[in-house]
């Protein structure tokens, strides 16, 4: 008989929804929202619902596979684990543990997914990846400005007089914030959307402001200039709680509003209007995770933070420069879980440069790569180079649910359990501050196993099995240990299914910051400690006509690679009812100038690669803007990362995926 269980979404998403999962005859038959969840209230998106298909699909990996003479053959777990352990041991003895690279990403947000790090730390320490494909530059920026990256509690938006959604399509990526926007509007708040694309969120805005991609920081600087000219700044906050404002003023005086208007392609009248909106407190800013994916990305987020500070919207109810909420993840005890103290050796490659670093590594060379929770062949920029690097090692092991592009390249593919087939806890450090519990609801199909089982088995074979000799309850208790003084226990979490974490709901109230000076730092001391001047800059994207006119002449269009509507990154494309293909969305002016029609086959290219697809004309997008959704599998047309750069942002070793100029033509 069908039974409904409370559970949680494991996907790397803003919303971290509560689920009701219906199970019948040992199979998930439906995934729905849990109406009792205080934030997500029974509503979930199609990506979450598709976990039913992801769990049940006939194409799941069911057995360990080994590539023999270019073909995958089924082998037993015993043999697969013995051989992988043998290779790990042999490589460690001959070259040292750093000849192994661990490639990890965030396909599953379960807290116990971090136990892969415990395995590699206890192994002696392997080469790891540092930096971020996504939000890294912005996180670092907020650490420089505030001391950490914190957001207001979701409900506080109802205290905002004005709400600015900046570079974020919440209708697609954060549906519960979208609901709160509608509620806030009903209560009288005004909604403004700043974005190069008139997206679904812009449709409900009181005003939409179109900006040239990558120029958001400069736009923020223009708004600050107008706030100061109109004497609308919060002088008390600036005097009492900030450091380096005089230096910032000099920077602002070095550029005219006319020049800002020309570069951002936003009119001076609109910049003045925005100055009045920000000064009409409380105004909250809700930033997306795209604006930092430029060479100038960290500085962009810093200038938007500075706008919130100058306009007096920091530390007040209804305000905030909301980007991420790291205090959620900081509630858990990961150092004990991952045994970061156990590693003897240490080497890091950067996320963006990993392909070059794998190919060039010496002392030791990379001999083996183990991939967990990721699909680097599609998600890491400059895919051609990534493929070359991952093909160059003698042993590639991939743990996954499906035969992804990365798995196709592997020597061993190990079938993993999905989230409904193992117990874990889930949270998101992007939006709300509840931790959710996900029980084990069914057995994995075939011989698929939880990652944790795989690590324990390998650890046994390598002589440190005692490090994995804990029950699930013991692991979970280790994880939430520091929450016990707040009355949060595993028993309570299992009983209630979700618990509010003890975090600040209005960060920086009272003007106390986590920076070295304790103040909001326009000139960052942390930045200085890291070898930067710490000063704000008026920097622009690397690939722009202002920084590289020759390149811009050859490749006149700005390429964005936004998150798809129906897939969490690359995870769902193969499960969609209709076979996906590459859609190339272009601003109207491009279609007009090149005389292109909807649906025509076009080619997009630059010096790094090319991709083909069908044309879709965006009704309202900033001139010369193109978008291709990220994550598309090679068999469906290929990843847009064939075109993107593997350069690094100005801080935080973030990606510069959007700092990308391309050209486009019709395929004859
Ligand atoms: S993907 Fe995000 S919005 Fe969709 S169900 Fe999961 S947490 Fe909720």
> Does any ligand 1 atom lie closer than 6 A to the CB of residue 175?
yes
Instruction: Answer whether 33 contacts ligand 1 (Cβ < 6 A).
Output: no
Task: Write the CB contacts of 643 (distance below 8 Å, at least 6 apart in sequence).
Answer: 559, 604, 605, 606, 608, 609, 610, 611, 628, 660, 662
47 lines ligand 1 (CB under 6 A): yes
Ligand 1 centroid vs 332 CA: distance in angstroms?
A: 21
Q: What's the pLDDT tens digit per position in 505-519?
A: 999 999 999 999 999
- Tokens 């086959």 locate to 601
Q: Would you place residue 269 in the very low, low, confident or very high pLDDT band (cuts 50, 70, 90)?
A: very high
Pocket residue to mutate for ligand 1, from 8, 17, 49, most atoms within 8 A of Cβ: 17
For residue 563, report the distance from its CA to the centre of ligand 1, in Å: 13
Q: Is the CB of 52 under 6 A from ligand 1?
A: no
Give the whole-angstrom CA distance, residue 608 versus residue 659.
13
Mean pLDDT of 539-562: 98
Q: Which atom in ligand 1 lies closest to the alpha carbon of residue 15?
A: 7
**Ligand 1 midpoint to CA 59 (Å):** 23
| pLDDT in the model for residue 421 | 98
Expressed in angstroms and rounded, the spacing between residue 175 Cα and the centre of ligand 1 is 8
111 CA → ligand 1 middle, Å: 17
User: In this predicted structure, what is the pLDDT of residue 82?
Assistant: 98
Q: Which atom from ligand 1 is nearest to the alpha carbon of 175?
A: 3
Q: For residues 246 and 535, is the Cβ–Cβ distance under 8 A?
A: no
- Please indicate whether residue 31, judged by its CB atom, sits closer than 6 Å to ligand 1: no
**C-alpha 39 – ligand 1 centre gap (Å):** 12
State yes or no: cis peptide before 282, omega within 30 of 0: yes
Q: Cα of 50 to ligand 1 centre, how many Å?
A: 10
pLDDT at 58: 96
Q: Work out which ligand 1 atom sits closest to the CA atom of 428.
A: 7
* Atom 8 of ligand 1, residue of closest alpha carbon: 17
CA of 42 to the centre of ligand 1 (A): 11
pLDDT at residue 625 in the model: 98
The count of C-alpha atoms lying within 13 angstroms of the C-alpha of 117, restricted to the half-sphere facing its C-beta, is 17
13 lines ligand 1 (CB under 6 A): yes
Distance 73 CA to ligand 1 centre (A): 35
pLDDT, one tens digit per residue, over 310-338 is: 999 999 999 999 999 999 999 999 999 99
| pLDDT value at residue 177 | 98
Residue among 370, 389, 461, 465 nearest 100 (CA)? 370
Pairing of strands 434-438, 498-500: antiparallel
Q: What is the distance in A from the centroid of ligand 1 to the CA of 225?
A: 39
11 CB near ligand 1 (under 6 Å): yes
Report the C-alpha gap between 627 and 561 in whole angstroms: 6
50 close to ligand 1 (CB < 6 Angstrom): no
Ligand 1 pocket member 17 (CB < 6 A): yes
Q: Whose CA is nearest to atom 6 of ligand 1?
A: 48
Query: Is 370 within 8 Å of 102 (Cβ atoms)?
Result: yes
The strand pairing partners of 129, in sequence order, are: 349
Model confidence pLDDT, tens digit, residues 59-79: 999 999 999 999 999 999 999
pLDDT at residue number 301: 98
What is the spatial distance between Cα 117 and Cα 107, in angstroms, rounded to a whole number?
15
Atom of ligand 1 nearest to the CA of 176: 3
- The Cα–Cα gap between 449 and 460 comes to 16
Contact residues for 124 (Cβ-Cβ < 8 A; gap 6+)? 92, 96, 97, 343, 344, 345
From ligand 1's centre to the CA of 173, what distance in Å? 8
Q: What is the pLDDT of residue 324?
A: 97
CB distance 536 to ligand 1 below 6 Å: no
Task: Ligand 1, residue 46: give the atom nearest the CA.
Answer: 4
Ligand 1 centroid from CA 32, angstroms:
10
Residue 624 pLDDT: 98
CB atoms within 10 A of CB 25: 8
Question: Given the CA of residue 174, which atom of ligand 1 is nearest to it?
Answer: 3
- Helix or strand (DSSP H, E) at 424: strand 424-426
Cβ atoms of 302 and 536 within 8 Å: the answer is yes
User: Which pLDDT score, from 0 to 100, does residue 399 have?
Assistant: 98
Q: How far is the CA of 176 from the centre of ligand 1 (A)?
A: 9
Q: State mean pLDDT over 178-188.
A: 98
pLDDT of the residue at 509: 97
Confidence tier at 632 by pLDDT (50, 70, 90): very high
Phi, psi of 216 (to 5 degrees): -65, -40
pLDDT tens-digit map of 387-430: 999 999 999 999 999 999 999 999 999 999 999 999 999 999 99
Report the residue among 18, 47, 107, 180 best suited for mutation to probe ligand 1: largest number of ligand atoms under 8 A from its CB: 47
What is the full DSSP assignment across 534-584? --------SSSTTT-HHHHHHS-EEEE-PPPSSSSTTSSGGGSSS----EE
Q: Encoding tokens for residue 594? A: 């090149």
Q: How many angstroms does the Cα of residue 43 sit away from the middle of ligand 1? A: 9
Average pLDDT, the chain: 97
Our answer on whether the CB atom of 45 is closer than 6 Å to any ligand 1 atom is: yes
């Amino acid at each position: 008989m069908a039974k409904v269980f409370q559970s949680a979404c494991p996907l790397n998403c803003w919303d971290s929804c509560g689920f009701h999962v219906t199970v019948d005859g040992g199979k998930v038959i439906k995934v729905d929202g849990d109406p009792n969840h205080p934030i997500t209230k029974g509503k979930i998106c199609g990506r979450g619902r598709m976990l039913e298909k992801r769990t049940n699909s006939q194409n799941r990996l069911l057995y360990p596979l080994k590539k023999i003479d270019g073909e995958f053959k089924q082998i037993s777990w015993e043999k697969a684990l013995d051989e992988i352990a043998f290779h790990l041991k042999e490589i460690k003895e001959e070259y040292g543990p750093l000849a192994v690279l661990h490639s990890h990403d965030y396909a599953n947000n379960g807290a116990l997914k971090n136990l892969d790090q415990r395995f590699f730390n206890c192994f002696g320490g392997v080469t790891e990846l540092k930096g971020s494909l996504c939000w890294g530059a912005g996180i670092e920026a907020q650490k420089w400005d505030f001391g950490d990256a914190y957001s207001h509690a979701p409900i506080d938006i109802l205290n905002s007089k004005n709400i600015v959604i900046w570079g974020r399509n919440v209708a697609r990526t954060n549906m519960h914030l979208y609901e709160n926007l509608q509620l806030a509007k009903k209560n009288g708040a005004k909604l403004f959307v700043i974005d190069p694309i008139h997206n679904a969120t812009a449709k409900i805005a009181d005003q939409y402001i179109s900006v040239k991609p990558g120029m958001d920081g400069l736009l923020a600087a223009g708004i600050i200039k107008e706030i100061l000219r109109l004497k609308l700044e919060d002088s008390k906050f600036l005097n009492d709680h900030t450091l380096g404002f005089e230096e910032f003023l000099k920077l602002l005086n070095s550029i005219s509003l006319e020049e800002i208007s020309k570069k951002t392609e936003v009119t001076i009248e609109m910049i003045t209007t925005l100055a009045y909106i920000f000064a009409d407190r409380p105004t909250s800013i809700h930033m997306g995770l795209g604006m930092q994916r430029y060479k100038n990305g960290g500085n962009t987020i810093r200038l938007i933070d500075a706008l919130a500070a100058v306009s007096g919207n920091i530390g007040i109810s209804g305000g905030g420069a909301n980007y991420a909420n790291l205090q959620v993840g900081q509630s858990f005890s990961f150092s004990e879980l991952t045994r970061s103290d156990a590693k003897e050796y240490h080497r890091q490659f950067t996320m963006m440069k990993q392909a070059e670093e794998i190919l060039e590594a010496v002392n030791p060379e990379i001999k083996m790569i183990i991939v967990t929770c990721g699909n680097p062949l599609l998600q890491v920029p400059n895919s051609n180079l990534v493929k070359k690097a991952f093909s160059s090692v003698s042993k590639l092991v991939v743990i996954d649910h499906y035969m992804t592009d990365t798995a196709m390249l592997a020597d061993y593919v190990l079938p993993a359990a999905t989230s409904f087939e193992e117990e874990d806890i889930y949270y998101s450090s992007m939006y709300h501050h509840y931790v959710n519990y996900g029980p084990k609801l069914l057995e994995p199909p075939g011989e698929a196993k939880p990652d944790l089982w795989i690590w324990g088995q390998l650890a046994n074979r390598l002589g440190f099995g005692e490090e994995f000799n804990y029950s699930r309850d013991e692991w979970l208790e280790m994880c939430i240990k520091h929450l016990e003084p707040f009355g949060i226990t595993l028993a309570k979490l299992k009983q209630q299914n979700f618990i509010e974490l003890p975090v600040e709901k209005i960060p920086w109230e009272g003007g106390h910051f986590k920076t070295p000076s304790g103040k909001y730092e326009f000139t960052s001391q942390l930045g200085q400690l890291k070898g930067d001047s710490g000063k704000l800059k008026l920097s622009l994207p690397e690939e722009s006509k202002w920084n590289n006119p020759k390149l811009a002449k050859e490749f006149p269009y700005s390429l964005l690679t936004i998150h798809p509507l129906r897939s969490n990154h690359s995870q769902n494309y193969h499960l969609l009812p209709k076979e996906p293909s590459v859609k190339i969305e272009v601003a109207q002016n491009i279609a007009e100038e090149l005389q292109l029609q909807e649906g025509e086959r076009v080619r997009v290219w630059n010096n790094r690669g090319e991709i083909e697809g069908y044309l879709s004309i965006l009704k309202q997008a900033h001139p010369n803007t193109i978008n291709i959704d990220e994550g598309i599998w090679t068999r469906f047309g290929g990843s847009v990362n064939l075109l993107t750069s593997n350069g690094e942002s100005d801080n935080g070793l973030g990606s510069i995926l959007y700092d990308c100029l391309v050209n486009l033509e019709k395929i004859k």
